[in-house]
Structure 1
């Protein structure tokens, strides 16, 4: 019994020491924060709708677009969160600040294009069907416009390309994964619901870009992200679910600031 308790304590101490080592590295190396905006492009997706015995059908090859909402800058300039935005909090892992662990949130928006001619098959009210039809907005419309919402944990790296006395240009890259947390606005067979936020699936992506340091920890970054998002159970009305997946390309522009959390100790000169 004593051996079992000792083994359990040792297992608990391992992650604690790893966490302590991580935070010590961060304390020595620093953190950064970024805010910016994005544009998104999506591949076609097959949308599956289900709700018990009421319906179970699929729309094939649905096209969608993003909704940048940049006009909100002059309509409501105080609320900078309305347009498609991206924010990041990074924790450096080395003194050169070339590697980091990063929490990344992209408030992207996904809007099904109305009036598409699509193949539709399945069952509605126990009646099977298979046909092509023009899908009107009043019949079916799906958008994740309070966000398709990509929440990711990334591994970040950067390498200097051009170094000047007061500025620096770096090549950046990221790879990571996480969850999608949409708030979906759905119209289905004449009924509409602007739903609640919901962890609906998963995402994986890679990203490359450039970062330009121009003044005392301030930097600009431009990057391109390519990834795959799978919405396993986005919410519809009355207990219904929608599932679909797609590949996407995202272009992102950000302003960032980095700072040290621990001051360097002053060297004491000896005579």
Structure 2
């Protein structure tokens, strides 16, 4: 009985130390990671009043999200200003290359169940969630509008419909799916250089859907500077004001 009590007290003490260690840290921390060479640039179509005069070039970024709280959090959106409209959120993947969100992977999940790949099933089912006191890596793409005449010398340009199909039915379905088209590396490098210190806004949620159950991190590329905003600590007036200026609610 004494041994059981001793072990119980030791377990409680260790648990308390772990809780204190994590709770002294910010609730969430973002870390930008080096992108691997095998992660492809993606190229999508763009139509304007002038016709099919441009393409959208998507360049990849990799981030680790660390959850320092005793609750699951889920990544919901990534926002940033772009060079052809106010904000954009598109193309998020987990480290295995799958699109985020179980609703986007239902057929794959069903196949994993049939093949009894239970661990893979659970990882994919919860690929938007970061468990308590743990980290998870994500990839997302940032979009740039490029005039196709600017890159026509490097492009074997084909019909716009082919690019539409290549993007919607191939590139956007998996992180590792490459475009049939290419952009000169100098152009890609210039896009990354132009991103230095640009702001990215990460939105996270936890628990039941509630505007107060949110975190936001304003992250500045290549600087590691970040600002965490905990919506639950806001007054009702502050929350209403914040939601009114959030890109998600901008028209």
**TM-score over 0.5 for the pair:** no
TM-score, with structure 2 as normaliser: 0.27
**More contact order relative to length (CA 8 Å, sep ≥ 6):** 2
For the pair shown, which has the larger CA radius of gyration, 1 or 2? 1
Q: Which is richer in strand?
A: 1
TM-score, with structure 1 as normaliser: 0.25
Q: Which is richer in helix?
A: 2
